[in-house]
Amino acid sequence: MAVTANEMQAAIRMWIMSFPWPIASSYFWQLCDGCGWDWNQASHLPILFAMQTLKELAESVHCWEAIDRNDFQRRARILQALWRQERGLPIGQLAGKPRGAMLAMPWAKETLANFMADEVKQVVRDTIEGNQRQKGSLIPPGRMYANLLSSQPMAFNLFVPLQRDLDLASAVFAEMLPGRCSRVTKIEFEYSPGQQDPRYTGDRSALDVCVWFDTPRGTQGFVGIEVKYHENLNEDADDHRPRYDEVADAMACFVPGSRERLRCKPLQQIWRDHLLAGAYRIADGLADGLFVYLSPADNTACSSAVDAYMSCLTATDTFEHWSLESLVNAALANTEAPWTREFADRYLAFEKVEALLA
């Protein structure tokens, strides 16, 4: 597949900048000498280290998209394009244009290259392609294969290694839920206790990840997790259902008069997932249970929505907001397994983007 000059320049720059500066400088001058550049001419200044604006950088890696509403989204898109370039993965297209944060189809579906380890790919094959789904699960393949920004592949990349190592998962969740979690017993993806079941929310909502754990008192608890990465929460709200109000009344943790706000974007999706977790805890008689909203610290669209949501709560024992960084750091603190560093490098190494900006 052909590589554009801008892509080659960005890739070479990132490669050189990955070395300590004296070594990078040496490589740079050798490269320039090999190209036969005349350093007496101002026009031959070191373009590989020329700083760029965010827009210029995004355009150079096919990542300037009108759909991105803030600088965090643009940086996240660029970071995924750099990750793709570093690995030589073929660029995807949409509407006839190359998109730096997408993988080429059908290659992406055939290779599952959006998933970062063989064990992750196997879980994806089993749960999606093999249709081996737990009762009530909903896992639409869709953009999981090609979209590097999608939070659904990110959830698999983060939680499958924890699913396969429950000792590590236990250490991580004991740190994230002090005094509540003593040992993780199971992790599942896109979980609903019963879609369209009137005992719960009566709709097709599902939790991106559900983690069951034993409590210090010997009872069972769970944490349902909604995973976000690049999202700006601009989706329209779904139709309201009377069942939502019934569950909210039973949970008894909402500020009187807040329902109208909770029924509108960007709060409705958070509310519905929180209600699903609450209904599951009540209907199944679980001793502990909460809903966690997981997003990068710098995704202000998510953090602002969570702040607004928490202002609608009278109690927060069933709702928490975790930064993606805090969960990854908990994993890094409890294991030297390479996948933790590889995950952080792909999704959180925004210093790579900053190094290329003016």
According to the model, what pLDDT value does residue 30 have? 40
As a whole number, mean pLDDT of residues 22-33 equals 40
Residue count of the chain, please give it.
358
Q: Give yes or no for residue 262 having a pLDDT over 50.
A: yes
Angle at 128 (CA atoms; ends 123, 133), nearest 5 degrees: 85
For 287, residues 6+ apart whose C-beta sits below 8 A from its C-beta are 215, 217, 219, 220, 221
Over residues 29-67, the pLDDT tens digits come to: 344 434 444 333 333 333 344 468 999 999 999 999 999
Q: What pLDDT is attached to residue 22? A: 37
- Residue 138 reports pLDDT greater than 70: no
**What mean pLDDT do residues 280-286 have?**
97
**SS3 per-residue string spanning 51-116:** CECHHHHHHHCCCCCCCCCCHHHHHHHHHHHHHHHHCCCCEEEECCEEEEEEECCCHHHHHCCCCC
- Alpha helices, DSSP H, located in 217-299: 242-251, 259-262, 267-284
Residue 167's pLDDT is 98
| Cis upstream peptide for 266 (omega within 30°) | yes
What local confidence, expressed as pLDDT, does residue 195 receive?
87
Supply the pLDDT for residue 127: 78
Phi-psi region of 345 (alpha: psi -120 to 50; beta: other; left: phi over 0): alpha
pLDDT at position 148 is 97
* C-alpha to C-alpha distance for 337 and 255, rounded to whole angstroms: 44
| 228-241 burial: b if 16+ Cβ within 10 Å, else e | bbbbbbeeeeeeee
Residue 187 β-bridge partners: 211
pLDDT band at 141 (very low <50, low <70, confident <90, very high): low
Give pLDDT, residue 128. 74
Q: Is 123 left (phi over 0), alpha (psi -120 to 50) or beta?
A: alpha
pLDDT higher than threshold 60 for residue 136? no
Task: Give the list of residues 6+ apart from residue 95 with CB closer than 8 angstroms, or none.
Answer: none
Assigned token pair, 18: 């990955």
Quick one: average pLDDT of 153-160?
98
With CA atoms as reference, report the closest residue to 107 among 121, 131, 91. 91
H/E element, 172: helix 166-176
CA distance 238 to 254: 20
The single residue listed with the structure tokens 């793709």 is 84
pLDDT for 187 equals: 97
pLDDT above 80 for 24: no
CA angle 237, 66, 308 (to 5 degrees): 35
pLDDT of residue 15: 57
The tens digit of pLDDT for each residue in 195-210 reads 899 999 999 999 999 9
Compute the average pLDDT of residues 167-184: 98
- Of 179, 176, 201, 162, nearest to 321 by C-alpha is 176
d(CA 221, CA 219): 7
Place 79 in a pLDDT band, splitting at 50, 70 and 90.
Answer: very high
- What pLDDT does 328 receive? 98
Instruction: Tell whether the model's pLDDT for residue 217 goes beyond 70.
Output: yes
d(CA 202, CA 195): 7
Mean pLDDT of the region 139-165:
90
- Strands (DSSP E) found in the chain: 91-94, 97-103, 183-191, 207-214, 220-227, 288-295, 319-323
Residue 309 CA to chain centroid, in angstroms? Answer: 20
Q: Are 160 and 168 in contact (CB under 8 A)?
A: no
Q: Rounded to the nearest 5°, which phi and psi values hold at 297?
A: -60, -35
Q: Which two tokens stand for residue 329?
A: 């750091």
Tens of pLDDT, residue by residue over 294-342, are 999 999 999 999 999 999 999 999 999 999 999 999 999 999 999 999 9
- Residue (of 118, 140, 119) closest to 129 by Cα position: 140
| pLDDT of the residue at 140 | 55
Q: pLDDT-derived band of residue 143, with 50, 70 and 90 as boundaries?
A: confident
d(CA 265, CA 253): 20
pLDDT of residue 129: 58
| Mean pLDDT of all residues belonging to the chain | 87
